[in-house]
């Protein structure tokens, strides 16, 4: 099986995402102080990484393209549930989870439909050769919601936690910029922009665990479910 250098780079760097998921899951098990909802989020990193690897091995197959973005939606949904469990009161939490789950269900349904009827063009075009698909736009909006929740409730964080949160936001903002680059080309000759997103994201997930480690080592009264 022949793959263009850009796709080889994407496959190899996707393993960074996989290993970061395994590492933070092990950290959760060894530390034992973070709630179970965060283990679910860490585990979805592993779930997401596997279709990402296969998608980049078979970049022209719509099946794996759709499954890849569906598992990414699962990842940010798990993040939103974990954050809501940290900060929302019970009534607001249930309402938030219901509304968010219904919206993302329809997003996943649309992505599943795209397996059999692939879209002819990107959903949000950025320049001549780049842009975001419908699934990627939904993913970004979910990520913005997660950042908004953390930013709003940052008043409950210590100064050190706020610093780490800022670093975390910068990491994933950089990742978003890198993700806008084409995953089919290497420009200039040694830079695969999409591959750099995989590495940046993997580093970000580990920093995220550290951010939670700071919070839960201090806020021991948060529910352990």
Q: Quick check: 222 pLDDT over 70? A: no
Report the Cα 63 to chain-centroid distance in Å.
20
pLDDT at 225: 46
Evaluate whether residue 203 is within a structural domain: yes
Averaged pLDDT for residues 88-114: 92
SS3 of residue 124 by DSSP: strand
The answer as to whether 225 is a domain residue is no
Nearest-angstrom CA–CA distance, 96 and 94: 5
Q: Rounded to two decimals, what is the model's pTM? A: 0.88
User: Residue 170: which domain range?
Assistant: 5-218
Residue 68 domain flag: yes
Is residue 86 included in any domain, yes or no?
yes
- Residue 224 forms part of a structural domain: no
Rounded CA-CA distance 55/67 in Å is 8
The tens digit of pLDDT for each residue in 122-142 reads 776 666 656 678 888 898 899
For residue 163 the two structure tokens come to 């610093």
CB atoms within 10 A of CB 153: 13
Give residue 117's region: left, alpha or beta (phi > 0; psi -120 to 50).
beta
- Distance between CA 100 and CA 76 in Å, rounded? 11
In this structure, is residue 147 part of a structural domain?
yes
**pLDDT computed for residue 122 by the predictor:** 73
Residues in the chain: 225
Residue 96: inside a domain: yes
User: What integer is the mean pLDDT of 82-111?
Assistant: 92
Query: In this prediction, what percent of the chain has a pLDDT beyond 70?
Result: 83
List pLDDT tens digits, range 180-207. Answer: 666 655 565 556 677 888 899 999 999 9
In a domain, 142, yes or no: yes
pLDDT digits (tens, 9 = 90+) for 28-80: 999 888 999 999 999 999 999 999 999 888 888 889 889 999 999 999 999 99
Number of domains the chain is built from: 1
Q: What is the CATH number of the domain that holds 117?
A: 1.20.1070
């Amino acid at each position: 099986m022949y793959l263009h250098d850009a796709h080889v780079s994407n496959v190899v760097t996707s393993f960074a995402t996989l290993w970061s998921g395994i590492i933070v899951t092990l950290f959760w098990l060894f530390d034992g102080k973070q709630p179970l909802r965060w283990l679910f989020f860490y585990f979805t990193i592993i779930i997401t990484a596997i279709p990402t690897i296969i998608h980049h091995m078979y970049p022209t197959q719509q099946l794996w393209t759709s499954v890849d973005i569906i598992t990414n939606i699962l990842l940010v949904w798990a993040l939103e549930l974990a954050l809501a469990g940290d900060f929302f009161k019970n009534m607001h939490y249930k309402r938030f989870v219901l509304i968010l789950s219904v919206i993302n269900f329809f997003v996943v349904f649309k992505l599943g439909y795209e397996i059999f009827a692939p879209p002819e063009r990107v959903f949000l075009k950025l320049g001549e050769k780049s842009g975001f698909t419908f699934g990627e736009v939904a993913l970004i909006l979910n990520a913005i919601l997660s950042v908004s929740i953390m930013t709003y409730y940052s008043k409950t964080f210590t100064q050190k936690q706020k610093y780490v949160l800022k670093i975390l936001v910068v990491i994933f903002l950089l990742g978003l910029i890198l993700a806008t680059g084409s995953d089919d080309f290497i420009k200039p000759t040694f830079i695969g922009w999409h591959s750099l997103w995989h590495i940046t994201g993997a580093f970000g997930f580990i920093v995220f665990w550290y951010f939670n480690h700071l919070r839960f080592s201090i806020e021991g009264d948060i529910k352990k479910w």
